[in-house]
Chains A and B, each alone.
Chain A
Amino acid sequence: MSGDINRQLSHMSEASSVGSDGNSSEEMDEDIDHSYYEDTSDDLGLDCPSKTDDPEYFEYEPLQLIDAEKMLNEEIEALCTKLKVNPSMAKMLLLRHNWNKEEIIDNYQRNPTEYLIESHLASRHRHDNLMGHRPLCSVCCVEYSKDRFMGVACGHLFCRDCWDMHFQIQIQDGITTGIECMAKECPVLVTEDFVCEILSHPKLRDKYSKFSFNDLIKSHPNLRFCPGVDCSVIIKAKEPKAKKVECQSCKATFCFKCGIAYHAPTECDVIKRWLTKCEDDSETANYISAHTKDCPKCHVCIEKNGGCNHMQCPECKYDFCWMCLGDWKSHGSEYYECSRYKENPNIANESVHVQAREALKKYLFYYERWENHAKSLQLEETTTAKITTRTQEKVMNNQGTWIDWQYLLRAAGLLKKCRYTLQYTYPYAYYMEKGPRKILFEYQQAQLEAEVENLSWKVERAEITDRGVLENQMDVAEKRRLTLLKEFLDVQVL
């Protein structure tokens, strides 16, 4: 089937004649925008995506823990000087108001008392809950001399031991910057200096500073922890946008805004809804979208073993589309419609039962395509691995140099990138309102899908495909991807 790369690789001699033509292929490179290969050509310094051309352009830098700490401390200090408050207070204000310094300074200078009350750092009334010479601590019910009693801005006083216990329990539960006064319904927050003065347990002190640092980072709109496993890098971005970040240290890629796998052109809240929906409904969907299908012409059972959706039946050589089982020829032109869901036009007049079935049908349509592209991506990973092995063999056998064969890996990398975006167009389309925007989106999606499948077909047959033809196909596929993203990614309201 389409994934049978081994068979194609036996045509090695044919393919090598393309690559050995060193000079002409060097020239070919000139025609291609190098920014397309940013995933694979880092070491060559070829990627220089420009702000205006690339809808996915995003400025960010990785920080080590210590640098992030330094940066935050500088911001805290600046606020201390400006407002003449202590660092614990400044830290709390920044954390509570997402590091919006201008707004904090503005509000504080307008009415400091009111602003501190609003920020849960002061209380309207100064409470005094102590009575007599040897007052009773209302938490432990033990009497102490007055100097054992302590409290924060609200004036509620409790004995030192009770505060200590309170902090221990809260920190064990992972609460640090959110620790409140012990009094009933008192929202006043306990600041760091007070906790550090009282907390007796050295291990919990470390925990407190670690957790509160995490809270500081999480509250900062321009900083994100890398979600990579055991990765301690913090990403700093100029603006908090839903754009792609790749951690240089652990290679994790994610959306800066929401932290999950990058999902352009779909928005953060939409992809979350989609993923939850898939989790709930996927059993049915899995059942319906099985791994095998019958050839629409000769009905032989076919298992998909490659990423490409342009299938050719091994028995009758019929070319068809894996998704819609239609003739592949009709997919080549503008009439490519396999990615478009055709809704029942009369749906409003149907019964609830029929409407529910229609809703399931619509979901399954998009889910099947989403899932299918995810599977294709996995299968194409195998293709990439095979290409790497074959390239090494060729270089060892003196059939061209390592550089001569890099275009194959670039093609595989670009295919991955395009198919990834294509996969994430389906949740976007599912939640789109009917109308001209949807028609345009589906048109561009179909265009992208057609070119991705063409590219996949050629990548799987890379060694018998002319290099020029392949690179041309890469160019076309990436252009389709960028066209779609330009139209639909940048219109997001951030």
Chain B
Amino acid sequence: MAGLPRRIIKETQRLMAEPVAGITAIPDEQNARYFHVVVAGPSQSPYEGGLFKLELFLPEEYPMSAPKVRFMTKIYHPNIDKLGRICLDILKDKWSPALQIRTVLLSIQALLSAPNPDDPLDNSVAEHWKTNEKSAIDQARQWTQLHARANNVNSH
């Protein structure tokens, strides 16, 4: 880990020592700035029972710039698009250098519990959510079963 800023080392150590419930984040063996993340679908959400793979990358400017995070597992969510990109304020203009990998992942977990169709990234999904929430939630549940079942994650 030569040349790695102290801040990243400290954060990584803490993530390993005191992991967040429902989230694992493991640095890549080749690149300490790249994390393999798995987030468990929160209970009482349509994503319950699913395990969602994400990638998290700390750019050169981190922590002055936000980490880059993306869903690798397909997910039906109004704030996440087909490419897995996430619409979350703290990953954009609300980023603060005092935020951490831990806080980002917690926010993403919270986003799964509380989708926000009023600030959509994927318009068609958001439209579905607004016009027929029940049917949209059913769809999200189906996708979770189809793409994010626990035994599926490793094969992705």
Contact = CB atoms under 8 A, between A and B. Distances in A.
A360 interface: no
Contacts, number: 41
B96 interface: yes
B10 interface: yes
Contacts of A185: 96
A475 to B, nearest CB: 54
A139 B65 CA distance: 12
A129 to B, nearest CB: 9
A183 B98 contact: yes
Interface of A: 138-142, 158, 162, 165-166, 168-170, 180, 182-186
A142 B8 CA distance: 11
30 contacts: A138-B98, A139-B97, A139-B98, A140-B5, A140-B6, A140-B7, A140-B63, A141-B5, A141-B6, A141-B7, A141-B9, A141-B10, A141-B11, A142-B7, A158-B97, A162-B64, A162-B97, A165-B61, A166-B64, A169-B61, A169-B65, A170-B64, A180-B96, A182-B96, A182-B97, A182-B98, A184-B96, A184-B99, A184-B103, A185-B96
Contacts of B10: 141
Contacts of A170: 64
Contact of B63 (A139, A142, A186): A139
A186 B5 contact: no
A139 B7 contact: yes
B96 A183 contact: yes
Interface string B87-112: 00000000011110001000000000
Given A139-B63, A170-B64, A186-B96, 7 more contacts: A139-B98, A142-B7, A166-B64, A182-B98, A183-B96, A184-B96, A184-B103
A398 B113 CA distance: 86
Contacts of B96: 180, 182-186
A183 B99 CA distance: 8
Interface string B1-31: 0000111011100000000000000000000
Given A166-B97, A182-B97, A142 B6 contact: yes
Q: Which 5 A-B pairs have the closest CB atoms?
A: A169-B64, A184-B98, A141-B7, A141-B10, A182-B97
Contacts of B64: 162, 165-166, 168-170
Nearest to A129: B98
Contacts of A168: 64
Nearest to B61: A169
Interface in B77-93: none
- Tell me which of B11, B61, B98, B99 has the highest count of chain A C-beta atoms within 10 A of its own C-beta: B98
B68 to A, nearest CB: 14
